């Protein structure tokens, strides 16, 4: 059972994503501003490089963060040099992992079927998958078709241990977040699509990601159908991230 899901479901979930950034020497200083803090309205989490999972788990003691991974192998175990399995993550008591981030879909040609297979491995190991979906700028006029094809393989997963992150590719790292109207429309569509498949999917949380900053985080989080945020660039500086979280009430 995932640690995040035993928290208050009404709480919003805010996840920082370090991507392939930070060095070992930066880990302990990162957590200093968050020591002995608690944020009542949000569950806080951080997706870190595999290499730093264990040291982050030690260093974050006394802070409100859960530590998770950014990816997992689609394979169970065996001769897959360089891969990390869901069972290996579970053996470190990792509670969640991103899968299907657009950078992986694009740079490593991960199909929606592979992404769903990875999410399944995580669920089988008792880890919460955060499945990222989102359209490119060219795909924006027909976002519904794109999202349907990304979400369909996800419908075979257990809805009780699943989070979706909507991250329009054109908004990631560009400084140009989606508008409130865009987000309401797309999150509404995702929730409708999931619920239409099965009522059990109506409780799946849907996060927004893409150029979230201290300035826009609060209004994005208050938007209809937004259950949390996935934050890349603005999670890298701990002092700035702490200020961003403070705006969330
Ligand atoms: C991300 O990495 O998932 C992301 C949304 O990045 P940024 O916040 O920098 O746009």
Give residue-wise pLDDT tens across range 150-205.
999 999 999 999 999 999 999 999 999 999 999 999 999 999 999 999 999 999 99
Q: Which residues contact 186 (CB under 8 A, 6 or more apart)?
A: 143, 147, 166, 168, 178
Q: Over the stretch 191-248, which tens digit does the pLDDT of each residue have?
A: 999 999 999 999 999 999 999 999 999 999 999 999 999 999 999 999 999 999 999 9
Distance, CA 47 to ligand 1 centroid (Å)?
Answer: 12
Instruction: Report the alpha-carbon distance of residue 105 to residue 214 in Å, rounded.
Output: 28
Average pLDDT over residues 123-136: 98
**What is the number of the ligand 1 atom nearest to the C-alpha of 209?**
5
pLDDT-derived band at 2 (thresholds 50, 70, 90) equals very low
Q: Provide the pLDDT confidence category of residue 9 given band limits of 50, 70 and 90.
A: low
- pTM for the model stands at 0.95
- Coil, strand or helix at 201: helix
Looking at residue 39, what is its pLDDT? 87
State whether the beta carbon of 233 lies less than 6 angstroms from ligand 1. yes
Task: Quote the DSSP letter at residue 173.
Answer: T
CA 200 to chain centre: 20
Distance, in Å, from the CA atom of 46 to the CA atom of 181, rounded to the nearest integer, reads: 28
Question: H or E stretch including 131?
Answer: strand 128-133
Distances (CA, A) of 22 to 29, 235, 236: 11, 11, 8
Query: Comparing C-alpha atoms, which of 244, 224, 231 is closest to residue 182?
Result: 224
Question: Which is more confidently placed, 131 or 10?
Answer: 131
93: its two tokens: 């008591």
Cα 167 from Cα 147, distance rounded (Å): 11
Q: Span 51-75, mean pLDDT? A: 96
In short, whether 210's Cβ falls inside 6 Å of ligand 1 is: yes
Q: Which of 103, 110, 135, 167 is catalytic?
A: 167
Q: What whole-number distance in Å separates Cα of residue 212 and Cα of residue 217? A: 6
Q: With a 6 A CB cut-off, is 141 part of the ligand 1 pocket?
A: no
Q: Considering only CA atoms, which residue is closest to atom 6 of ligand 1?
A: 232
Q: Are 244 and 231 in contact (CB under 8 A)?
A: yes
Residue 26 is among the residues annotated as catalytic for this protein: no
| Bridge-based pairing state of the strands 128-133 and 65-68 | unpaired
Tens digit of each residue's pLDDT (9 = 90 or more) over 74-108: 999 999 999 999 999 999 999 999 999 999 999 99
Where residue 24 falls among pLDDT bands split at 50, 70, 90? very high
Atom of ligand 1 nearest to the CA of 165: 3
101 is catalytic: yes
């Amino acid at each position: 059972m995932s640690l995040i899901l035993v928290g208050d479901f009404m709480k919003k979930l805010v996840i920082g994503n370090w991507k392939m950034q930070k060095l070992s020497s930066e880990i302990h200083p990162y957590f200093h501003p968050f020591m002995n803090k608690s944020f009542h309205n949000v569950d806080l989490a951080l997706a870190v490089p595999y290499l730093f999972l264990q040291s982050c788990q030690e260093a974050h003691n006394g802070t409100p963060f859960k530590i998770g991974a950014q990816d997992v192998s689609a394979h169970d175990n065996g001769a897959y040099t360089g891969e990390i399995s869901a069972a290996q993550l579970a053996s470190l008591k990792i509670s969640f992992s991103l899968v299907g981030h657009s950078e992986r879909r694009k740079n490593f040609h991960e199909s929606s079927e592979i992404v769903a297979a990875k999410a399944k491995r995580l669920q089988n190991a008792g880890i919460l998958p955060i499945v990222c979906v989102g359209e490119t700028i060219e795909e924006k006029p027909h976002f519904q078709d794109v999202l349907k094809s990304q979400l369909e393989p996800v419908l075979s997963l257990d809805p009780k241990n699943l989070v979706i992150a909507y991250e329009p590719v054109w908004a990631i790292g560009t400084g140009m977040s989606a508008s409130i109207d865009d987000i309401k429309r797309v999150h509404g569509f995702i929730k409708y699509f999931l619920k239409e498949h099965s009522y059990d999917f109506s409780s799946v949380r849907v996060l927004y990601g893409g150029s979230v900053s201290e300035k826009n985080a609060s209004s994005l989080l208050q938007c209809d159908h937004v259950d949390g945020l996935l934050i890349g660039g603005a999670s890298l500086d701990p002092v700035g991230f702490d200020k961003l979280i403070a705006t969330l009430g």
